[in-house]
Structure 1
Amino acid sequence: MKRICSILLLTTLSAASSVAQTAGYKAQISQLDKNIYTVFYDKPTGLYLETNNVAENKGQHSYLWPLTALLQAANEQESLAPGKQHIAQVMKAINQYYSGRAPAPGYQAMVVKEKADTRFYDDNEWIAIALMDAYNRTHNQQYLETSKLIYRFLLTGYDEATGGGFYWEEGNLKSKNTCSNGPAILVALRLYQATKQQNYLDTAIKVYSWTKRNLLSPTGVYFDNIRVPSLKIDSALYTYNAGTMMQSAVLLYNITRNNAYLTDAINLANASEKQFYRNGKLPDNYWFNAVLLRGYLELYKVDKNKQRLQFFINDANRIWKEEKDDRGFVGRKSVKTLIDQSAMLEIYARLQELQLEK
């Protein structure tokens, strides 16, 4: 009897998932976009707010990081509807974070006119990744030039301490993180694909090897960082670190046709689902998970194993059912954040595009 009930439950859940997939994600995309521009967008300044809570925001506009998430979501929206313009509005805000100070121009963590602030290499990398995705669609030369500028800034954060690798924060020589090296590889690879300049590919291969050698964990996913100069490993495991390294491995395979990279990607995909998808859900950080999804989708383009994506689809459907409030905001906490709305906007847009595949 228990076996029959279990079969019926699985059938019901599968049917519910199929209905959600058939219906698509247009409603989710529309609701999240509306909420962002109703609540988080500060029209007079062209900037965005970090949360929907005035006290939490402390009179400041958002840090750059959530805007990088919104920029990627904007690209996915344009992919679904090429006639619509979403990127320009977000870049208008991001440009207000631009700092031309030495040793190379880049984007700082806070709005320049509001505060002189530090610059994070990964913040800059997320911008370049989104812009290179957009460049591949549109061939807009400005996207390419901004990404080249960011790459030049990244090089100021590289040295041979610990054998190579990029630091996480400008001027902070205490750690080299997977979250600054994985996306750096992606920036270099996208620039190589666009320009065929060998130096970009050389950087990508070198940094990929360094990251794998120093930060791949025994469980098959990636540790967070290595401390400098002690070489102590921060053993925290995050979905986005797996995502960037998985996507990097697939792109390296596509470029070099070296099967070792494809094997790396498949092994990392298998390990990531085992590590992170527990009790029918992914960890709470939506944006980290959005970056992980990018890796799986890059692998899917090669092996066409759609079943590998099913747990993402299940989790996205669960979030809309269980972690959305009556106003259409996602997030488990009462205060809603721009990065959460942007991350789920990206995820639903990517899943919608996947569903529309012929």
Structure 2
Amino acid sequence: MIKKYCFFLAATLLFFQACSEGDNPIVEEEEYTIDWSAVADSSSEKLIITYWNAADKCFNFTNTGEKNFQYWPQAHALDVTIDAYERTHDNLYLTTINEWYDGVKAHNGNTFLNVYYDDMEWNALAMLRAYNATQETKFKTAAIEVWEDIQTGWNTNAGGGISWKKDQPYSKNACSNGPAAILAARLYQQFGDEADKEWALKIYDWEKEYLFNPASGAVYDNINSRTGETNTSWIFTYNQGTFLGAALELYKITGEKGYLNDAIKAADHTLNNLVDSNDRILKNEGTGDGALFKGIFIRYYTQLILHPDLSESVKKRYLTFLTHNAETLWLEGTDKSLLLFGPYWKTKPGYTNDLNTQVSGAMLMEAMTLLPEE
């Protein structure tokens, strides 16, 4: 449903009155409404027009045509395309989704398999969504093939978990376990294979034990089994997002309230610690890979907001935060002439923008359209 939020902008009007001894400005409050559906239309269409390479059938790395193919951002650009297609049923997005399959596969060595387990997980999640949106079996087949390869990343180093990279079995990362648990849980819910449910539980349990701080809600980036050290200084929004996303999926499967509580803890840690304290905007995690992190958090955070079992008080608090970030990005962090988003959602970008930064902002705009009308 379209969500519209109203707020007031101060419009300063100066009237000079000849009969007045002093010329005092008159300030009037003018109601301004953001139509989030229209904003999402503009941002998602702009993503395709500016970044989609029709010849190569994949997304360019910059709005100026730089290619520099990277596998994992293609998944998130596909996710936004699916968001827009599910909302509008516009053939522009359907054509892009179907062509993406051939182009990304070709640029990844004519396969969807990759040395990075997290990269495969992002793409498998997006392809499962693409299958559900289009009913094209090629996406289902590819997602399951990738999932089977992801399972080979599990080993007993550091007590278990999916490795980050095939040649680094000692590195166990949140980014390779949170998405894997989400994928396994969704496959189970859709196709009913009990083995997928067991994988989802096993992966989640490992991540919770080794990388989650239940007292603070922080999700640590990784543990190195060679040294036994857990990197507690790297806490990123996307790891918070996929952990809470996995918890939410397992809550759907089991009905156990503990999973919902875990999701809330991870969300609260993000809102309390991974923001700019001056303005309550999600922190700037840079360009390049980091630019995608906030958008990924927003995707799963929005699903938590929409869950019917979330209390009204928590839902209201989460909605206020999401709306504040979206309004700030649209009103302050967007170059309206180029329709480009900044990596810090309160500051406009330059004339050149990378795909990750643009996709992250587009995720937020699409997320706003999912919220119910008040």
Q: TM-score range by the shorter chain?
A: 0.7 to 0.9
SS at match of 1:156: helix
| 1:113-262 alignment, distance < 5 Å | 119-217=115-213, 218-235=215-232, 236-262=234-260
CA 1:210–1:38: 2 relative to 1, 3 Å: same
Does the 8 Å CA contact 1:36/1:341 hold for their aligned counterparts?
Answer: yes
CA 1:254–1:318: 2 relative to 1, 3 Å: same
CA 1:220–1:41: 2 relative to 1, 3 Å: same
TM-score using structure 1 length: 0.83
Give, in whole Å, the separation in 2 of the partners of 1:92 and 1:120. 20
CA 1:79–1:37: 2 relative to 1, 3 Å: closer
Give, in whole Å, the separation in 2 of the partners of 1:319 and 1:347. 9
Deviation per CA, 1:76-96: give whole Å up to 9, x if none.
111211353142233332222
Does the 8 Å CA contact 1:48/1:61 hold for their aligned counterparts?
Answer: no
CA 1:221–1:147: 2 relative to 1, 3 Å: same
Determine if the alignment matches structure 1 residue 350 to structure 2 residue 353: no
Give, in whole Å, the separation in 2 of the partners of 1:75 and 1:47. 14
Partner of 1:294: 299
Does the 8 Å CA contact 1:47/1:61 hold for their aligned counterparts?
Answer: no
What code does the residue aligned with 2:257 have? N
Identity, % of aligned positions: 26
Deviation per CA, 1:296-346: give whole Å up to 9, x if none.
222222335441122122112111222222311112553301112122222
CA 1:212–1:62: 2 relative to 1, 3 Å: same
Deviates more, 1:317-326 or 1:193-202: 317-326
Deviation at 1:241, TM superposition (A): 0.6
Partner of 1:303: 309
Does the 8 Å CA contact 1:135/1:144 hold for their aligned counterparts?
Answer: yes
Instruction: Give the strand-richer structure, 1 or 2.
Output: 2
CA 1:133–1:46: 2 relative to 1, 3 Å: closer
Does the 8 Å CA contact 1:106/1:153 hold for their aligned counterparts?
Answer: no
What code does the residue aligned with 1:248 have? A
Deviation at 1:204, TM superposition (A): 0.8
Point out the structure with max Rg over C-alpha.
Answer: 2
Give, in whole Å, the separation in 1 of the partners of 2:131 and 2:57. 23
CA 1:173–1:320: 2 relative to 1, 3 Å: same
Determine if the alignment matches structure 1 residue 318 to structure 2 residue 328: yes
Instruction: Give the helix-richer structure, 1 or 2.
Output: 1
SS at match of 1:106: coil
SS at match of 1:237: coil
Partner of 1:74: 81
Between 1 and 2, higher relative CO (CA 8 Å, sep ≥ 6) is seen in 1
Deviation at 1:215, TM superposition (A): 0.6
Give, in whole Å, the separation in 1 of the partners of 2:223 and 2:31. 45
SS at match of 2:334: coil
Does the 8 Å CA contact 1:164/1:210 hold for their aligned counterparts?
Answer: yes
What code does the residue aligned with 2:296 have? V
What code does the residue aligned with 2:105 have? N
Deviation at 1:264, TM superposition (A): 1.2
What code does the residue aligned with 1:327 have? L
Give, in whole Å, the separation in 1 of the partners of 2:86 and 2:136. 14
What code does the residue aligned with 1:198 have? E
Give, in whole Å, the separation in 2 of the partners of 1:139 and 1:208. 29
In structure 2, the gaps of 5 or more residues are: 1-5, 10-29, 286-290, 344-348
Determine if the alignment matches structure 1 residue 40 to structure 2 residue 36: no
**CA RMSD, aligned part only?**
2.6
Deviates more, 1:286-295 or 1:122-131: 286-295
TM-score using structure 2 length: 0.79
In structure 1, the gaps of 5 or more residues are: 1-12, 109-118
